[in-house]
Structure 1
Amino acid sequence: MKRRRQSARGGGPRNRLRLIGGRWRGRRLSFPESGGVRPSPDRVRETLFNWLGPELVGARVVDLFAGTGALGLEALSRGAASVLFVERDRHLAATLRGHLEALDAREGAVIERDVLAWLAGAPEQQFDLVMLDPPYDAGLHWPVLCALASGGWLSPEAQLYIEYRARAEAPALPEGWRWHRQSRAGEVGFGLAVPDHD
């Protein structure tokens, strides 16, 4: 999770995250303590990556509003072909670059840019999986989802992972998309959206 404060179940120190699966399982990483930035809780990540299963292996992933990078780093650990982290905060972006270097994760790259500004440009590649976890109350879910759906950023069978406040309604999806799976853990609501071919 990104710029909001909440308790972390199974957490530990507020500025540490633990990778929970794959080649870096158990690795602990630190991140700047600023603005209430939080990694997605272990339980949420475990559920998500169980959902994805072997489909993650070889996938091209983008982690938008990357924050701590917990989602994208977990994806790399579990076999994603590449992960692009988009994060506008320069301290967090620098920390992410440091983590990728420390892990020798050459499949990862960081773009220090505002997400909507970046999505307004021409896509250089298409992604198979999007991690979307913006600040809950910033009103960013809908414009980002629309930019993704209409901007040529997604492969034909792309999946969108979306986090939101559990006590709120799930974000509306653009035309041609549907919820495939949804769940909640504590204050976190989350789900996978897929193209609606029916």
Structure 2
Amino acid sequence: MARKPTSKSSNSAKSSGQVRIISGKWRSRKLPIHDLAGLRPTTDRVRETLFNWLAMDIKGARVLDCFAGSGALGLEALSRYAEFAQMLELQKSAAKQLQQNLATLQCDNANVANVDSLQYLAQPAAQGFDIIFVDPPFRQSLADKTVNLLVENAWLNQDALIYVETESELSELSVPNNWVQLKQKVAGQVTYRLYQYQA
């Protein structure tokens, strides 16, 4: 869930927008999201492409959504029968809305942590994940830091798939040699890539 500068007030905690689940058991469900500075869901177009890429791997997967925001990626994964999703979100009201949306969906195989993602990932992983979403705030060098922590603290299962969404002007992303880039596309201000971890 990337964040970009926006003219809207960061003090607003009203549910003023919606995120739509594209496919799966909650197909076409619309869920409220808060009007918070810099929060924006990954667009439907990008999500549709991403989940086409993941179509053969999502069912039964353990998913880590590192900068969850609206929950667009994590909720889409759960709708498509991911086994479990851990969502990390720094902004308290956004995390609370995510918890409420999970309750609305009667989803009991997800957890929302109201934490700083880098601090969370700096801890050794108790259990690895199969699919990881890295969609951090733009222009804060967070993608590289997140990639390093995922590797250093064993957050990746063998053959894990890692989705990284960044601002388009970041033409190069530093990743380990054992991350194989499978896909890359550009959509407006966004560049998104899919890697596979090969230990």
* Structure 2, unpaired ranges of 5+: 7-14
Q: What RMSD, in angstroms, separates the aligned Cα atoms of the two structures?
A: 1.6
Partner of 1:154: 156
Aligned with residue 38 of structure 2, among 33, 36, 41: 36
**For the Cα contact (< 8 Å) 2:158–2:198, is it kept in 1?**
no
What amino acid is the match of 1:45?
R
Cα shift at 1:196 = 4.7
Task: Kindly indicate whether residue 66 of structure 2 is the aligned counterpart of residue 68 of structure 1.
Answer: no
2:4, 2:46 → 1: CA distance? 16
C-alpha separation in 1, matches of 2:142 and 2:170: 14
- Once the two structures are TM-superposed, the CA of residue 90 in structure 1 deviates from its matched residue by 0.7
- Asked if the contact 2:16/2:33 (under 8 Å) is kept, the reply is no
Matched, 1:53 2:61: no
Aligned to 1:173: 175
Would you say 1:83 and 2:85 are equivalent positions? yes
Pick the aligned partner of 1:116 from 118, 132, 138: 118
Instruction: Report how far residue 91 of structure 1 moved.
Output: 0.4
Moved over 4 A (4+): none
CA distance in 2, matches of 1:181, 1:22: 23
Moved more, 116-125 or 60-69: 116-125
Deviations 1:46-97 (A, max 9, x none): 0000001121100000001110000000000011000000011110110000
Secondary structure of the residue aligned to 1:155 is strand
Q: CA separation in 1, counterparts of 2:168 and 2:29?
A: 28
AA matched with 1:182: Q
Ranges in structure 1 where 5+ consecutive residues have no aligned partner: 7-12
Please give the per-residue CA displacement for 1:154-194, whole angstroms capped at 9, x wherever unaligned: 10110100001123314221232121111122221101011
Kept in 2: contact 1:14–1:38 (CA 8 A): no
Query: Within 1, Cα distance between the matches of 2:180 and 2:198?
Result: 6
3-state SS of 1:53 partner:
coil
- 1:166–1:184 Cα contact (<8 Å) kept: yes
TM-score relative to the length of structure 2: 0.91
The aligned counterpart of 2:130 is: 128
Q: Which 10-residue stretch deviates more, 14-23 or 56-65?
A: 14-23
Query: What is the distance in 2 between the residues matched to 1:96 and 1:132?
Result: 17
TM-score, normalised via structure 1 length: 0.91
> Aligned-pair distance for 1:142?
0.9
Q: Tell me, what secondary structure is at the counterpart of 2:63?
A: strand
State the distance in 2 between where 1:160 and 1:76 align. 16
1:14, 1:40 → 2: CA distance? 17
Cα deviation for residue 127 of structure 1 reads: 0.1
Is the contact between residue 156 and residue 197 of structure 2 (CA under 8 Å) also seen in structure 1? no
**Secondary structure of the corresponding residue to residue 56 of structure 1:** coil
Matches within 5 A, 1:87-102: 87-102=89-104
Paired amino acid for 2:128: Q
Question: Please, which of 97, 102, 105 is the counterpart of residue 103 of structure 1?
Answer: 105
The total of aligned residue pairs comes to 191
